[in-house]
Structure 1
Amino acid sequence: MNTRLSTLPPDTGAEHTIAEIAQQPALWREVGRIVADGRGALDDFLRPLLAAPDARIVLTGAGTSGFAGDVLRTALGRHLGRRVDAVATTDIVSDPHGCFAEDVPTLLVSFARSGDSPESTAATALADRCLTRVSHLVITCNGEGRLAREHGGKPASHVLLMPPAANDQGFAMTSSFTCMLLAALLALGPGTVRDSLDGLAEGAEHITSGDLDPHIDTLLAREPERLVYLGSGSLKGLAGESALKLLELTGGAVTASADSPLGFRHGPKAVLTDRTAVVVYVSEDAYTRNYDLDIVTELRGALPPGSVVAIAARPDGLPQDGTWTVPVPAGTDDAAFALPAVLCAQLIALRASLSRGIRPDNPFPSGEVNRVVQGVTVHPLPAD
């Protein structure tokens, strides 16, 4: 943890959030050991599912857990050479027949910090009801949660449990998000992720060392009223999670949104004002990167100086001023790059919250938004 964060007075209401952002590199190494130690049983579970030529993989979760699926969807689809969809549990619960319209062999990968939100278990139950053949890979941070308990020991289920410290106690998901994202990449992605794990953790340690703090302070010094995150492919999912983090930790005081660089021009660009800041995650894919560089150039010409930030693994083609470089091993896929890159967004959200006198561990003290979703009634699905 960098000195400026670790010496914050204890009454800032950020103790959990600070610790959970800082602990991520160490937890990733622990996740690597967990997946490696359970590799045999995991492969025995996955092998017959992935052998089916018509198998569909559905990545599901709600809120931040749902964005994990958005980050992974295209990367896993390319690696596995099959259909991979990211479908939020909230969509499955409200429209199960639409989400499972094709009765094909399905692996439902459920991401859940607590596993106690109503939609988490409802989504798996609805998949069982709508599909003839479905298996469940549950990736969760809470072994005592309802989702883990209901699927533990079932022959058609495999529970991949994250380190206990990943069950974030702060309001917003930080280390829980990255640990579950990493676990899925290690379980279903290419072996290069395992090989580059130490390098990814070192990239995150570069961010938590405090080197970016002056740049974050410069971005926030203008007190932007709106902040837009942009990214292509896997990085669009990262943009969505980044915007959500800012909304959560500032209690909605800063309006945040997300889009792709190409999609942003089709209407959402109307959000831009002189009090808007934009963060662009720059892809490592040579073709996709062209579109990210285009939007950086365009927006730097349209907004006041210091309003546009590019976050990239390498500075090639980017202006020196306003580019934040996240060091990662050469050849890192965008989905893996998202692991250390999201720490930039977490720190932006944390510092934006503290600058406004908000307590990040509980930015909604009146309880209108809760750490674990409340107030959801799961209605029974009528018989076919």
Structure 2
Amino acid sequence: MPVSSDTLSPSTELGRLLSATAEQQGRAGYADTLREILQQPQTWRDTAGLLAGSTVAALLSQALIPRPEHIVLTGSGSSVHAGECLAAVLQAALRIPCRAIPAGDLLTHARGTLAPGRGLIVSIARSGDSPESAAVVDSILAAAPACTHLVVTCNAKGRLATRYRDEPRVRVLLLDARTNDRSLVMTSSFTNLLLAGGALAPDETYATHSAAAADIAQRVFDRHADALAMIARRDFAAAVYLGSGPALGAVRESALKMLEMSGGAVTTMAETFLGLRHGPMSALNRPSLVVAFLSAQASVRDYEYDLLRELDRKQLGLARVIVGENIPAGVVAAGDLAIDLPGLDALGETQRHMIDIVVGQLLAFFRCLHLGQKPDAPSAGVLTRVVEEFAIHPAGEAR
């Protein structure tokens, strides 16, 4: 179902796309993706309300009883990037070691990646039907019976949501069906899964920060979409995404969105600001877009500003998209786009990542359209919405 322009953004670019008929949106291949990107502010408010309810609050509280010795956040593709955003945040709040591990690694190298002891395994999934998703839960249930499991998913009919109804070691947090994106690429599913996972660390400001994030995301749509569309039309074949600390998960997700939605036409790299100097900076010695997600911490931003000034001095990169609050003029060069968002630094870290990711989604969406591709199903014949079934092989003995 297409989105209507009469209730949403005054952006010229978005208004033009939204004014198309349902048939036109479907033929152009963007109806699902655009609706799912733009529904995020409202779905965040609804997810925050769900998380605040007594039933879900009790479920999340019970997932931490008995207190786990470690927490693993797992998933495949975009889902593990949500875990990367959350791991350091949850570890700081809960004072429990937390680590994001791709489901594929747990499937093939569990002995080297899964710490011993009583763990909480948080499986994050849009559909819950990727072949390795249930296989990982099955294998850990058998090999590490002391571990308990929390599934966070958008799909009530998926294997992760239905397979373990009679297994007391597995709890399921099911999000609203609207978050189960129909598009190939994850957008509102990703940010809502991220929001839900962050609620493992109880915080009385969580709902307030989530509502504030929804307002800021709407401002991105209203005031910055046109500028993002313009920069998406620039002549670049590569994009480098930068963040610090837990923002690296948001950086990786945003880089993946550009890679997916461009059908591989734009090569991408995700790196930390400080890590860029150690070799990866060589990727900018050609026309490349740099996307920089600034930290809320002043001491961290000093490092980030230094790197941006260095890129300017060396004339590296075609242009930059810089996302933050109170961005100083000295780090914004001619041709750059500064997305300055009042209130961003006051958000919780999880909600801040959600805003960065929204910017990354819009940029990739507009690039996809500029390249003449269909955002609902880019890379036709290569990618599918849910990874195709593949054989799950029995685990071998460690050597």
- 2: distance between equivalents of 1:26 and 1:152? 30
**1:135 and 1:212, CA in 2 relative to 1: closer, same or farther beyond 3 A?**
same
Task: For 2:57 and 2:229, locate their aligned partners in 1 and report how far apart those are by CA, in whole Å.
Answer: 46
Give the corresponding residue for 1:255. Answer: 267
Superposed, which structure 2 residues align to 1:42-57 within 5 Å? 42-50=59-67, 52=68, 55-57=69-71
1:32 paired residue number: 48
> 1:375 Cα shift?
4.6
Within 5 Å, which residues of 2 pair with 1:1-384? 1-2=8-9, 3-8=15-20, 9-10=24-25, 11-37=27-53, 38-50=55-67, 52=68, 55-100=69-114, 102-209=115-222, 211-303=223-315, 307-316=319-328, 319=331, 322-328=337-343, 330-365=345-380, 367-382=381-396
Runs of at least 5 residues in structure 1 that lack an aligned partner in the other structure: none
Shift of 1:6: 1.1
Distance (whole Å) between structure 1 residues aligned to residue 131 and residue 387 of structure 2: 8
- SS in structure 1 of the partner of residue 199 of structure 2: helix
Farther-moved stretch of structure 1 (112-121 vs 327-336): 327-336
Q: CA deviation at 1:302?
A: 2.7
**Alignment length, in residue pairs?**
378
- In 2 relative to 1, CA 155–286 (structure 1 residues): closer, same or farther, beyond 3 Å? same
TM-score by length of 2: 0.89
CA deviation vs aligned residue, 1:254-295 (integer Å, no higher than 9, x gap): 111101111111111121133101011001022222221122
AA aligned to 1:19 is: R
Deviates more, 1:319-328 or 1:125-134: 319-328
Structure 1 CA distance, aligned partners of 2:267 and 2:317? Answer: 20
Question: One-letter code of the match for 2:340?
Answer: T
Indicate conservation of the 8 Å contact 2:44/2:195, yes or no.
Answer: yes
- C-alpha distance in 1, partners of 2:43/2:95? 30
Distance across 2 between alignment mates of 1:303 and 1:218: 21
Native 8 Å contact 1:113 1:176 kept in 2: yes
Change in Cα spacing, 1:368 to 1:305, as seen in structure 2 (3 Å) is closer
Shift of 1:330: 4.9
- TM-superposed CA distance for 1:303, in Å, is 3.2
Q: Secondary structure of the residue that 1:19 maps to in structure 2?
A: helix
Unaligned regions of 5+ residues in structure 2, if any?
1-7, 10-14
Query: Once structures 1 and 2 are overlaid, which stretch shifts more, 25-34 or 38-47?
Result: 38-47
Map Cα deviations across residues 196-228 of structure 1 (whole Å, 9 max, x no partner). Answer: 12101001111122x112321342232211001
1:238-269 deviation line (CA, Å, top 9, x unaligned): 11000000011111111111011111111111
Asked if 1 retains the 8 angstrom alpha-carbon contact of 2:195 and 2:350, the reply is no
> Which whole-Å CA distance do the structure 1 matches of 2:236 and 2:66 have between them?
48
RMSD after superposition: 2.0
Q: TM-score normalized by structure 1?
A: 0.93
- Which AA in structure 1 matches 2:120? L
Report SS of the residue matched to 1:125. Answer: helix
